[in-house]
Amino acid sequence: MQTETKSRVDQLTSPAGHPVAVLRFEGDIASTSKDAVLGAYQSLSKSSTKLVLLDFTKVDYINSSGIALVIQLLIEAANAGQKVYAFGLSAHFTKVFTMVGITKYAELFPSEQLALAAL
Amino acid sequence: MTNTKSTTVEVRLPSRMGYEKVAMSTAAAVAKLMGFREDRIEDLKTAVAEACINAIEHGNRLNEKLSVGVVLSAGADELEVKVIDDGTGMRKSPVKPDIDRKMHGEEGPRGMGMFLIQALVDEAEWVAGTDGRSSYVRLVIRLDKDAA
C-alpha cells in the first residue's frame, strides 16, 4: 500500500563554491523507507561531504516512522560533523517538522535555489 | 452535507502497515465534503494516519487476522473519528518529543505519533476497552477552528 521510496544523490556546488550532496526522495517516507533514506545518506563520503541537502519536493506522505528516519539521519550527520538542510516540504510537513523540533537541527528552505544560495 | 444530522462512514482496515492511507483518504474526503479548509484536512490526515498506525502496530500487534475499525461521524460543525483496535489501550499520555534528547541518544527517535495526534486535532482521547479489548482513540476536529 505504501508507495516505494526512491532516492538518488546529486553532487552540486553552491553559488558560494561549497560542495553539496543533495538527497532527492520520491514517494512515501515511512517505516519501510530505511534503505532509501539512511542507505542513501550512508552512501555519501563522510570525509568529503560536509553539506547535505534533503529534497522532499516529490514526497507526498511522511508519517512518524519516516520522521524518525530523518532524525536518525540528523544524528549520524551531527556525529560526522555534517550540516543538514532541507527544502520542498509542503506547508503541512513544514509545520510538522517544526512541531517535533527538526528545524533546530536542519534548516528548511522553500526551494532548492534558496537553499543553495544560503550554503 | 448541509443537514444537521450526523452522517456516519465506517471503514475496516487490515492490520497491515500502509493501509492507514485508506482511512486517511476517507477522512479527507469526508472533511472536504463538510467544508474544512485544506490545511485542517492535512492536519486530520496526519492525525488519522498516526492513530491507525498505532492501532495496527501496538493495538493489533500487526496481527493480520485482526482489523482496525475507523468510524467517522460528521456532525453539523465537527467531525469525530474513532479508531478501534483489539488491544488493551494506550497507558501512557502523549509527550512532546524532545529533539535534543533524541539527538543525544537519550530517547529513541520514534514515539511521536500520539503527540502529533493531540497537537493536530481539537480533541483527542485514548479509551481502553472495558473488556480489555476494543480500545479506541477518539479524535474531534471542529469546522470553525481558526475560521478566517
pLDDT classification of A93: cutoffs 50, 70, 90:
very high
For residues B147 and B77, the answer to whether their CB atoms sit within 8 Å is: no
Q: What's the predicted TM-score (pTM) here?
A: 0.92
Say if residue B97's pLDDT is above 90: no
Q: What is the pLDDT of residue A1?
A: 63
> Cα–Cα distance between A74 and A76 in angstroms, integer?
5
A79–B contact, CB cutoff 8 A: no
Residues of B in contact with A97 (CB under 8 A): none
* B60-70: average pLDDT: 95
In this complex, do A101 and B98 lie within 8 Å of one another by their Cβ atoms? yes
Residues B20/B80, Cβ–Cβ less than 8 Å: no
Residue B9, C-alpha cell as written in the block = 462512514
Rounded CA-CA distance A62/A25 in Å is: 11
Q: Does A89 touch chain B (CB under 8 A)?
A: no
| Cβ(A100)–Cβ(B99) below 8 Å | yes
B43: closest CA among B106, B117, B113?
B117
* Tens digit of each residue's pLDDT (9 = 90 or more) over B133-145: 789 999 999 997 5
Say which amino acid occupies A6.
Answer: K
Identify the bridge partners of residue B123 per DSSP, sorted by sequence position: B140
Residue A67 has pLDDT above 60, yes or no: yes
Given an 8 Å threshold on Cβ–Cβ distance, is A71 in contact with B99?
yes
**What average pLDDT score do residues A38-65 get?**
95
Whether pLDDT at B146 is above 60: no
- A29 pLDDT exceeds 80? yes
